[in-house]
Amino acid sequence: MQGRCLFYNWTEMFCPFCNHRDSRVLESRLTGEKSVRRRRQCEQCDKRFTTYERVEVVQFLVVKRSGSREPYMREKLRAGLTRAVSKTTITAEQIDDLVDALENELASLGKREVPSTLLGEFALARLRNLDEVAYVRFASVYRQFRSIEDFIVELNTLKDTKTLLSSTEQEEATVSSA
Ligand SMILES: [Zn+2]
């Protein structure tokens, strides 16, 4: 096997060549009950390396709106996101990366209980950067829209942001039928 093999904690995945923090996952394979082998490519120096990562179960309680608590379940969040991204260009790998990043973010908070709303907002913030359609779909579930008005408000917020970002692309010619 080429390259250096390092055992990392999954929360710290620095490039062994340049110490850059962000890398792309090229391939993931479970190598045991609690470890996963990943081929990664550094986003700064483009070199590839292999990591053997411990799969640590993130343990905290999710506090639901009703006040009831349930253990955080990665699969549940993953399933919700997967539904939201169906028919978009987002890959399963991107979802895994998103959930990884989100779990890191939550772990860094060091809390034992996290409101479900916060979990949803964290996911939304990341999803928004990936795909707008998926973002709105996920938002409709996690923000529990009570009416079509709520949904329209969300769409308009999204549209406004988009308008700000690309105000030059606004002129779309409409061809009227004869
Ligand atoms: Zn690097």
pLDDT tens-digit series, residues 165-177:
554 443 444 443 4
pLDDT of residue 139: 78
Are the C-beta atoms of residues 100 and 154 closer than 8 Å to each other?
no
Q: Residue 11 phi/psi, 5° resolution?
A: -80, -15
Which residue has tokens 């110490």?
19
Cα 30 to ligand 1 centroid, rounded to whole Å: 24
Among 4-8, 87-91, 120-124, 155-159, which stretch is predicted with the lowest mean pLDDT?
4-8
- Residue 130 Rama label (left phi>0; alpha psi -120 to 50; beta): alpha
Cα 9 to ligand 1 centroid, rounded to whole Å: 17
Most confident of 38-52, 110-124, 128-142: 38-52
> Pairing between strand 69-71 and 61-63?
antiparallel
Q: Mean pLDDT, to the nearest integer, of 115-138?
A: 82
Cα 61 to ligand 1 centroid, rounded to whole Å: 36
Are the C-beta atoms of residues 64 and 72 closer than 8 Å to each other?
no
Torsion, Cα of 18, 19, 23, 26 (10° steps): 70
Structure-block tokens of residue 93? 């790998």
Q: Where in the chain is the domain with CATH 2.20.25?
A: 5-54
Q: Mean pLDDT, to the nearest integer, of 58-77?
A: 84
Q: Where do runs of H (alpha helix) occur along 28-177?
A: 74-84, 92-109, 116-130, 132-142, 148-165
Among 26-30, 117-121, 160-164, which stretch is predicted with the lowest mean pLDDT?
160-164
Are the C-beta atoms of residues 146 and 139 closer than 8 Å to each other?
no
Mean pLDDT over the full length of the chain: 74
Cα 104 to ligand 1 centroid, rounded to whole Å: 21
Q: Mean pLDDT, to the nearest integer, of 20-47?
A: 84
178 or 90: which leads in pLDDT:
90
pLDDT of residue 174: 40
Rounded to two decimals, what is the model's pTM? 0.52
Measured distance CA(3)–CA(48) in Å, rounded: 7
Measured distance CA(161)–CA(155) in Å, rounded: 10
Cα 20 to ligand 1 centroid, rounded to whole Å: 5
pLDDT at 44 over 90: yes
Most confident of 45-54, 84-93, 151-160: 45-54
- Residue 52 Rama label (left phi>0; alpha psi -120 to 50; beta): beta
- CATH class, domain 5-54, is mainly beta
Cα 8 to ligand 1 centroid, rounded to whole Å: 15
Q: Residue 64 phi/psi, 5° resolution?
A: -80, 170
